[in-house]
Structure 1
Amino acid sequence: MHILLTGGTGLIGRALCRHWQRQGHELSVWSRSPHQVSALCSGARGMARLQELDGGPPVDAVVNLAGAPIADRRWTQARRHLLWRSRVDLTRTLVDWMGQQPTPPRVLLSGSAVGWYGDRGEQLLDEDSTPGQADFGSRLCVAWEHEAERAVQWGVRVAVLRTAPVLASQGGMLTRLRHVFRIGLGGPLGSGQQWMPWIHINDQVSLIDHLLHREECSGAFNACAPEPVRNQDFTRSLARALRRPGVLPAPAWALRLALGEMSVLLLGGQRLTPRRTLAAGFAWRQPALEPALEQLLHTP
């Protein structure tokens, strides 16, 4: 299978490339740094422009994970423009290119995030719940998914992954938290009562691969573990796994002062269940938090 990947040099993209390289798929990665793709993405071909694929073997599947990091800095006006361009505008360009192909790809798997739901407190949510509209993050995800869904007009099967924070041994949220906890500064965020969906990197890769090969799977799928936890429970579990204290809370007022609207990523939450993901026959290898953390932090 010839797979076109965006976001291939990111945490999930690199893991996917390793997985698909072992399966013998042909991989092309659209990247701003195409010269780095081969080394970072298990020998995949890097391209600066989609048109480099024109006239060659058709693309069978597109996996769209591109997007500037959303939690790296405050959501200034300039940062919002960058986040929008790297997700919404890029996806529009990608879908337009797909529609121009003599044989459009059969499937588009496109990224989104659990931020699509916004901060919903204690409300139990699944893929059929309504989107949030109160913050920039939810509006960004709604527009991002809308651009991906346009590919249906070309006869493309479209599946959207609303991904929770991904836990990995190297990179992502866990690497940042591990340092904070090891120097004794870890603790709950705000009240600690907010729900905190998450997913193990291996399950994220397996879910994408599962949806890629299931012709009946289209629409939105929550990429999160089936057992939700509150932030304070996540904090305790991580502290135990690291054999370190986790008792220094970060006050909500301080986070709002430091981060502005972006603080919703830390103080808001989603009590999320992956109902459609379960119905699609996906089986988690790491459904529970504490074993997942032990595996990531202590397995060589």
Structure 2
Amino acid sequence: MHTFTASSSLGASADALFTWHSRPGAFERLTPPWAPVRLQSFEGIEAGDRAVLRIGPGPLAVRWVAEHYGVEPGRQFCDRQVQGPFSHWEHTHRFTPADDDTGGATLTDRIEYEPPGGALGRQAAPWLEAELRRQFAYRHRITRRDLSLHQQYNPDDRSLTIAVSGASGLVGSSLVPFLTTGGHTVKRLTRSGPTGADEILWDPRTDRVEADKLEGIDAVIHLAGENVFGPWTPAKKQRIYSSRADGTRLLAEALAGLDDPPEVLVSSSAVGYYGDHGADRITEESAPRDAGFLGEVCEAWEAAAEPAAAAGIRTVQMRTGIVLTPAGGALRLMLPAFWLGLGGRVGGRHQYFPWITLDDVIGGIYHALWTDALEGPVNLTAPRPVTMQAYTDTLADVLHRPAFLNVPSSVVRTVGGEMADEMLLTSARAVPQRLQDTGYDFGASALEDGLRHVLGRTAD
């Protein structure tokens, strides 16, 4: 039998840690973005409650059923595999109060396991031990960061009701669990027929929205929009434009007409608003320059939220940069080539890459939700943008791979057309001036730290 243990002292009480783990969304928050794990169902952490997972890539995924037991409220819960790949698996989550008066506690994860496959599986035990250490270092970082954000912005543990569009997208699928583990209630804005009390119809295709269900909502976070990746055919460009401009206007007008409107609307936008600024530093005060189609979309996107602002709803437009996570987006597209040693710079050496980790996107949105001083455009990017050459070199160093197969701008433009020209070859040295001025503390300010966190290649 093998035993793995990971312990971290966290700036939260044992009761707060237990409560966080007991709320909906904790499993999703704790799942590393590189791990091929999909949650099918989760009943809770009370004795007898079960979680059903799919572990592994695509058609090779295996079913894992875990049952909870050994629950000591505020101190401990355990789970054991009742169906799955391991010969044996028992996991104890223990929350131990500190001996001093700080109010903090130690989180200890202890796993007793027997790998599958008999003697062959035992040969893989050192690799499995290393992967467990990697995953639980990530889990403890996320737990510490999430609890810290909730304590900072919501020290009274006020429960908000928040409507979220795009809840199943790259950002929304992480943001919603972050909100629910913080004790908030999330109402999903859905373009298909609602199937439960936590869903509200909002369909830009038919101009229908269940406005009555938005009455009394505390806040709205609007993330929905057509995926911009892929060939920009005329039909694709129309979907990109209308999903943002028309969808935002439908929602903003509905909010403006409410008797009891939300206090704040946090709406997505993008740094594509600015266009190509070369090496010039871009703040929220910078004017667009040769912004092209994306600039046109962003301008219409932000203007569409005006009805909400005119009605007195504090409205924030988050001009988001390139979101780094292996779960999707640009980094996920780049990783296979880099892992094979076939990576390299895409486009010009000196063009700027306005990156931000997914966790800081979530943190920045939460900051905007609670910060009354924020209104209008806000750059949601890391404070230290880098050149494409620096990004390429840093990713290669983090992965311990060479990166010499650079793709010239002319080739990128020929293969990718207008989409590549505006998304891959535009230089935007955007900085989050307003987030910094209002006191947001970034989880990852330096690119190497951000990549090591999201790829699980830290020293802890």
Q: Which runs of 4+ in 1 moved over 4 A?
A: 33-36
Which deviations, in whole Å up to 9, do the C-alpha atoms of 1:128-164 show, x marking residues without a partner?
A: 0112344101111011011113311111001110000
CA distance in 2, matches of 1:33, 1:168: 28
CA drift of 1:228 comes to 1.1
- CA change 1:56–1:238 in 2 (3 A) is closer
* Other-structure match for 2:178: 19
Answer yes or no: is the 8 Å Cα contact 2:350–2:389 preserved in 1: yes
1:247 matches 2:247: no
| Alignment size in residue pairs | 293
* Other-structure match for 1:45: 198
- CA change 1:134–1:287 in 2 (3 A) is closer
CA drift of 1:56 comes to 6.9
Q: How does 1:1-300 map to 2 (within 5 A)?
A: 1-33=160-192, 45-49=198-202, 51-52=209-210, 54=212, 58-70=216-228, 72-263=229-420, 264-298=422-456
- CA change 1:115–1:291 in 2 (3 A) is same
Answer yes or no: is the 8 Å Cα contact 1:132–1:139 preserved in 2: no
Answer yes or no: is the 8 Å Cα contact 2:163–2:189 preserved in 1: yes
- CA change 1:131–1:150 in 2 (3 A) is farther
CA distance in 1, matches of 2:222, 2:439: 22
SS of residue paired to 1:14: helix
* Other-structure match for 1:41: none
TM-score normalised per structure 2? 0.61
CA distance in 2, matches of 1:47, 1:133: 38
Q: Which has a greater percent of helix?
A: 1
CA distance in 1, matches of 2:223, 2:214: 23
CA distance in 1, matches of 2:326, 2:424: 21
* Other-structure match for 2:96: none
Answer yes or no: is the 8 Å Cα contact 1:126–1:275 preserved in 2: yes
Considering only aligned residues, what root-mean-square deviation do their CA atoms show, in Å? 1.9
1:104 partner letter? P
1:141 partner letter? C
1:286 partner letter? A
CA drift of 1:242 comes to 1.3
1:288 partner letter? A
Which deviations, in whole Å up to 9, do the C-alpha atoms of 1:89-141 show, x marking residues without a partner?
A: 00010011112211121111010011110011122210001123441011110
- CA change 1:55–1:69 in 2 (3 A) is closer
CA distance in 2, matches of 1:274, 1:296: 20
1:45 partner letter? D
Which structure's CA Rg is the greater one? 2
In terms of mean alpha carbon deviation, does 133-142 or 218-227 score higher?
Answer: 133-142
Answer yes or no: is the 8 Å Cα contact 1:135–1:261 preserved in 2: no
- CA change 1:231–1:100 in 2 (3 A) is same
The one of the two structures with greater contact order (alpha-carbon pairs below 8 A, sep at least 6) is 1
CA distance in 2, matches of 1:258, 1:22: 43
1:151 partner letter? A
- CA change 1:66–1:291 in 2 (3 A) is same
CA distance in 2, matches of 1:3, 1:244: 43
1:14 partner letter? S
Percent identical residues: 36
CA drift of 1:68 comes to 1.0
1:132 partner letter? R
Q: Runs of 5+ in structure 2 lacking a partner?
A: 1-159, 203-207
